[in-house]
Amino acid sequence: MGLTEVATTKAAAKVPSPLPLKLKLIHGFGAVAFGVKDGGFSFFLLIFYNQVLGMDAALVSLALLIALLADALIDPILGNLSDRTYTRWGRRLPWLYAAPIPLGIVWVLLWHPPGGSTPSFGELLAVAITVRILLSACEVPSVSLVPELTQDYDERTTLFRFRFLFGWTGGLLMMVMAYAVFMPGSEGILQADGYLSYGIFGAALMALSVMGSAAGQHHLIAHYPEVKPPPFSIKTAFSEIREAFSEKAFLFFAAGGLAAYVSQGMTFSISNYLNLFVWRFEQTELLIYPAVLFLSVVLMFLIVGPMHRRWGKPKSAAISSIGSFTIGLTPYFLLVAGLWPEPGSTASTALLYLFLTFANTLGVVLMISATSMVAEIVEAFQERTDRRAEGAFYSGNWLVQKCATGFGIFITGQIIAASELPTDSQPGTVAFPILSEMILLYSGATILMGLIAAYWLGNFPISRADHESRIARMSAKRALDTAARGDVDGGTIVP
């Protein structure tokens, strides 16, 4: 065993088991940046460029789709580079310290186009791609720390619970700030004033979360990796990426995750249209909306652990997928059938929020179950190839998520265009046939994606028992290898 391996073993021993609450909080805090970005792209960006700046919805959604696809192609390269980073601060920390400041700068430009005028298609595309690449340079290394911090099936779920809790908190905080601070008044989010402040505040919050989380974990993960990887090359990178992505379990995850993220991207990007034009929310109702979503995330935090312990991650994902779209679409079906209270009334809003709470709870359980599955793929791949590739698999996770979210936003743009909603629409003035078509198209796509996600994630081929037996085999193999080295070296470990 060389000096590097000795240093790694000592450093790994610093991570206590079970993981303390402080570490879970610090690690989860790093996901705030992702929540800020996801909330901005999913809830506000389409309606900002479409209804505020006057760009065609189909064109905006196409730009966002292309940006996501370009970013998704770059993500595996970032993951491979992260896996190959070899410094005294480890593989992940250099990325977490270098990327947040440039990310903040381009985030502001996204919400305040140069000159304050309507940007061209190319300008929107360039800024959106840059934002997403820099966000990936933060998120891929951060989430890749999960398999490094623990091999325990349930502890990994707990780490992802905290990541999702903080991620949603970041996104919902920005939503509250948008409604109550940056864009108050009668026009609300349909006014241009305030989006610059929204961008500046979000940029500062993203930089603080990524760099603060990295600094809080520095003493545990700042050490040389156990094995020094070979130099980076495009050919080798794509060969390793292809090998990793051919892992059977990853293909199941990718098929199910793709459908789940398409549905999520569609739901988030259409939500402001539905809230304003279908449900006729006023400013007060819009301020309650993020509180309801936060309550659903708290409920997720309470139930996802027991669900995973009782049913495992695959079955929990399938149950949550079907339950989420069934509960979430019920108010829309009742509205179209004429069985729902008058939109805009207290009864309508209260009932909608009740359905939304439980639908979103199960929707987040679905996402956390799918994301947590990726950690088990890391050891399956390591057992087969004797190589760890956390960055590659989690960049694959983001590749799936970004492609799917992009398609979800793209589908929303097409739904809005197909329903012929005018760009200068005001709540309460849109004809019901236009709203009905929007609802039916959205509902059909949601059901299809939900069923696909339930099938593939429900049949994910790694169970708790599979994972735990694999960890036991790998631990026994390491013990035998260590004993063999000791025999060769005369019973001593040579530095």
Structural domains in the chain, CATH included, are 22-216+241-482 (1.20.1250.20)
Q: Specify the DSSP element, H or E, that contains 169.
A: helix 153-177
The single residue listed with the structure tokens 């829309």 is 332
Task: Give me the long-range contacts of 307-312 (CB less than 8 A, separation at least 24).
Answer: 307/365, 307/369, 308/153, 308/154, 308/157, 308/369, 308/372, 309/154, 312/463, 312/464
Query: Looking only at Cα atoms, what is the longest distance across the chain?
Result: 86
Supply the pLDDT for residue 5: 35
Supply the pLDDT for residue 486: 65
**Best CA proximity match to 366, nearest among 308, 293, 410:** 308
| Cα 359 from chain centroid (whole Å) | 18
CB 192 within 8 A of CB 53: yes
The span from the CA of 392 to the CA of 245, in Å, is 8
Supply the pLDDT for residue 14: 61
The span from the CA of 121 to the CA of 285, in Å, is 33
DSSP string, 322-381: HHHHHHHHHHHHHHHTT-SPPTTSHHHHHHHHHHHHHHHHHHHHHHHHHHHHHHHHHHHH
Would you give the end-to-end CA distance of the chain in angstroms? Answer: 6
The span from the CA of 214 to the CA of 217, in Å, is 5
Amino acid, res. 279: W
**Best CA proximity match to 12, nearest among 485, 491, 478, 489:** 478
Six-digit token string for 465: 């028992």
CB 402 within 8 A of CB 71: yes
Six-digit token string for 433: 């046939």
The single residue listed with the structure tokens 């990994």 is 156
The span from the CA of 180 to the CA of 18, in Å, is 40
Q: What are the CA-CA distances from residue 26 to residues 9, 17, 169, 346, 413 (Å)?
A: 23, 16, 14, 40, 37
CB 294 within 8 A of CB 164: no
Classify burial at 212, counting beta carbons within 10 Å of its beta carbon; exposed 0-12, middle 13-18, buried 19 or more.
middle
| Residue 95, phi then psi, degrees to nearest 5 | -70, -40
Q: pLDDT tens string for the chain (495 positions)? A: 333 333 333 444 466 677 889 999 999 999 999 999 988 987 788 888 888 888 888 888 888 878 877 877 787 788 778 888 888 888 888 999 999 999 999 999 999 887 667 888 988 999 999 998 999 899 888 888 888 888 888 888 889 889 989 998 999 899 889 888 898 866 777 778 889 999 999 999 999 999 999 999 988 887 777 777 777 777 776 776 777 778 899 999 999 999 998 998 899 889 888 998 999 988 788 788 888 988 998 999 899 999 999 999 999 999 999 999 999 999 999 999 999 999 999 999 999 999 999 999 999 999 999 988 988 898 888 888 887 777 677 777 767 777 777 788 788 888 988 988 877 777 778 888 999 999 999 999 999 999 999 999 999 999 999 988 998 998 888 888 777 766 544 443 333
The span from the CA of 68 to the CA of 402, in Å, is 5
Supply the pLDDT for residue 369: 93
Cα atoms found within 13 Å of the Cα of residue 238, Cβ hemisphere only: 4
Three-state DSSP class for 311?
helix
The span from the CA of 303 to the CA of 361, in Å, is 9
**Best CA proximity match to 340, nearest among 354, 328, 330, 327:** 330
The span from the CA of 432 to the CA of 326, in Å, is 23
Cα atoms found within 13 Å of the Cα of residue 90, Cβ hemisphere only: 25
Roughly what angle, to the nearest 10 degrees, separates helices 121-143 and 100-111? Answer: 150
Classify burial at 234, counting beta carbons within 10 Å of its beta carbon; exposed 0-12, middle 13-18, buried 19 or more.
exposed
| Cα 249 from chain centroid (whole Å) | 20
Six-digit token string for 288: 């309650």
